[in-house]
């Protein structure tokens, strides 16, 4: 009999549900993106939790229907426990608890960052350990070493803006829309990455941390008092130069960590993992180190519930289930994920 786990994700502005079969394949994956944030150029937490309340029930129903399963067929219900926006997490966790109670099935609380890092496994990737995992999204930029499932050390992170946040903020400065990453990625394709000399902060520092706020300020200075619409080649050149600065910074830190720790692979996850330049540059960089680089297919890069169901299935196999006392946690540090590296760094 196939094992079936329902995954639920509500940590930010995507309401998502998925059914995972045998801890490896998504039988369904439904994502209801909240259009309400677009006009604000960023996620508005209060609006996000309200939208989750409206969207979650229908989204779960659709995920079950598309997988041709009922609640009774499920082996467990997995839900994002954190990190994320507290008000959004509360909606998902409360819903999952009620569902687990109604269906009399175990509940599994999943770490969103851990799920991003293992998302490549949804494509069938067999990832060798130890590996360097990078979670690169709108809210996160973390570099970890994974010695196996559940065994992680955090080695580096952003000191200010997350990588995806930098894309979003620069897109907003340019009047391009939200989320900015895919738009800048597309516009950059026709541009000259050497047209503007933008900073690569901390690229030579001996640690594994990054910083993107200075880059954003540098882009603001380039824009000056130009107002949209921007000349086409100027825009393409600026997008390409900005993208190159982010990509080269990430590449330097990820590959240094891989080299220093003797990693057998690098694994990228999160919305920014969909970036075409990052995929190309890191792919070549890992090849020079003689190790593979794994990127999830684009649908598994951005927030989805399949990655939550996947990690939830593996936790279920290990008996790592929770009771009705499961609480959402907003910060990664409080999830017992960051502690070893913080200790190692001090």
Q: Quote the least distance from Cβ 141 to ligand KG4, whole Å.
A: 10
- Name which of 226, 137, 133 is nearest 174 in CA terms: 226
Among 42, 182, 199, 340, binds ligand KG4 (CB under 6 A): 182
Select from ligand KG4, Zn ion, none the partner in contact with residue 328, using the beta carbon and a kind-dependent cut-off of 5 to 8 Å. Answer: none
Q: Which stretch, 69-77, 122-130, 178-186, 197-205, contacts ligand KG4 (CB under 6 A)? A: 178-186
Q: Quote the least distance from Cβ 137 to Zn ion, whole Å.
A: 4
Judged by beta carbon, residue 137 or residue 157, the one nearer Zn ion is 137
Q: Quote the least distance from Cβ 25 to Zn ion, whole Å.
A: 21
171 CB-contact burial (10 Å; exposed 0-12 / middle 13-18 / buried 19+): buried
**Terminal C-alpha separation, the chain:** 49
Q: Which of residues 7-66 bind ligand KG4 (CB under 6 A)?
A: 12
Q: Quote the least distance from Cβ 165 to ligand KG4, whole Å.
A: 6
CA distance 136 to 210: 12
Select from Zn ion, ligand KG4, none the partner in contact with residue 161, using the beta carbon and a kind-dependent cut-off of 5 to 8 Å. Answer: none
Q: Quote the least distance from Cβ 272 to ligand KG4, whole Å.
A: 4
Q: Which stretch, 24-32, 160-168, 230-238, 317-325, contacts ligand KG4 (CB under 6 A)? A: 160-168
User: How many positions of this chain bind ligand KG4 (CB under 6 A)?
Assistant: 20
Select from ligand KG4, Zn ion, none the partner in contact with residue 275, using the beta carbon and a kind-dependent cut-off of 5 to 8 Å. Answer: ligand KG4
Does 303 engage in binding with ligand KG4 (CB under 6 A)?
A: yes
Structure tokens at 234: 């100027």
Q: DSSP state, 158?
A: B
Pairing of strands 76-82, 107-111: parallel
Q: Which stretch, 218-226, 250-258, 265-273, 335-343, contacts ligand KG4 (CB under 6 A)? A: 265-273
- Name which of 81, 85, 80, 77 is nearest 13 in CA terms: 85
Q: Which residues contact 95 (CB under 8 A, 6 or more apart)?
A: 8, 10, 56, 57, 60, 79
Sequence length of the chain is 346
Q: Quote the least distance from Cβ 304 to Zn ion, whole Å.
A: 9
Among 23, 41, 133, 180, binds ligand KG4 (CB under 6 A): 180
| Radius of gyration over every alpha carbon of the chain, rounded to an integer in angstroms | 20
Catalog residues that contact Zn ion under the rule CB under 5 A.
137, 303
- Name which of 132, 199, 163 is nearest 278 in CA terms: 163
Contact 298, 29 (CB under 8 A): no
Contact 13, 83 (CB under 8 A): no
Does 181 engage in binding with ligand KG4 (CB under 6 A)?
A: yes
Contact 344, 260 (CB under 8 A): no
Select from ligand KG4, Zn ion, none the partner in contact with residue 10, using the beta carbon and a kind-dependent cut-off of 5 to 8 Å. Answer: none
Contact positions toward ligand KG4, by CB under 6 A?
12, 137-139, 164-165, 167-168, 179-182, 185, 270-272, 274-275, 302-303
């Amino acid at each position: 009999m196939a094992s079936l786990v329902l995954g639920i994700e509500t940590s930010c502005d995507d309401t998502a549900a998925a059914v995972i079969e045998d801890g490896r394949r998504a039988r369904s994956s439904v994502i209801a993106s909240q259009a309400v944030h677009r006009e604000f150029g960023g996620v508005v937490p209060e609006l996000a939790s309200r939208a989750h309340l409206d969207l979650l029930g229908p989204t779960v129903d659709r995920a079950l229907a598309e997988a041709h399963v009922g609640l009774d067929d499920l082996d467990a219900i997995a839900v994002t426990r954190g990190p994320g926006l507290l008000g959004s997490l509360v909606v998902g966790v409360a819903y999952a608890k009620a569902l687990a109670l109604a269906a009399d099935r175990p509940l599994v609380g999943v770490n969103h960052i851990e799920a991003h890092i293992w998302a490549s496994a949804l494509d069938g990737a067999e990832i060798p350990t130890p590996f360097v995992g990078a979670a690169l999204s709108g809210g996160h930029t973390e570099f970890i070493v994974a010695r196996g499932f559940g065994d992680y050390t955090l080695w580096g992170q952003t000191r200010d803006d997350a990588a995806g946040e930098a894309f979003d903020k620069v897109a907003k400065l340019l009047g391009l829309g939200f989320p900015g990453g895919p738009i800048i990625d597309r516009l950059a394709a026709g541009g000259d990455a050497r047209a503007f000399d933008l900073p690569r902060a901390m690229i030579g520092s001996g640690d594994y941390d990054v910083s993107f706020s200075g880059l954003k300020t540098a882009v603001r200075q380039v824009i000056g008092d130009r107002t949209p619409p921007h000349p086409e080649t100027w825009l393409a050149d600026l997008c390409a130069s900005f993208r190159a600065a982010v990509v080269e910074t990430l590449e330097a830190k990820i590959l240094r960590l891989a080299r220093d720790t003797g990693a057998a692979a690098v694994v990228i996850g999160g919305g920014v993992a969909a970036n075409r330049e990052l995929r190309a540059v890191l792919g070549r960089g890992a090849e020079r180190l003689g190790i593979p680089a794994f990127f999830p297919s684009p649908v598994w890069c951005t927030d989805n519930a399949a990655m939550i169901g996947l990690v939830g299935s593996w936790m279920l196999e290990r008996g790592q289930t929770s009771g009705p006392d499961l609480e959402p946690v907003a910060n990664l540090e409080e999830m017992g994920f960051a502690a070893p590296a913080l200790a190692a760094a001090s």
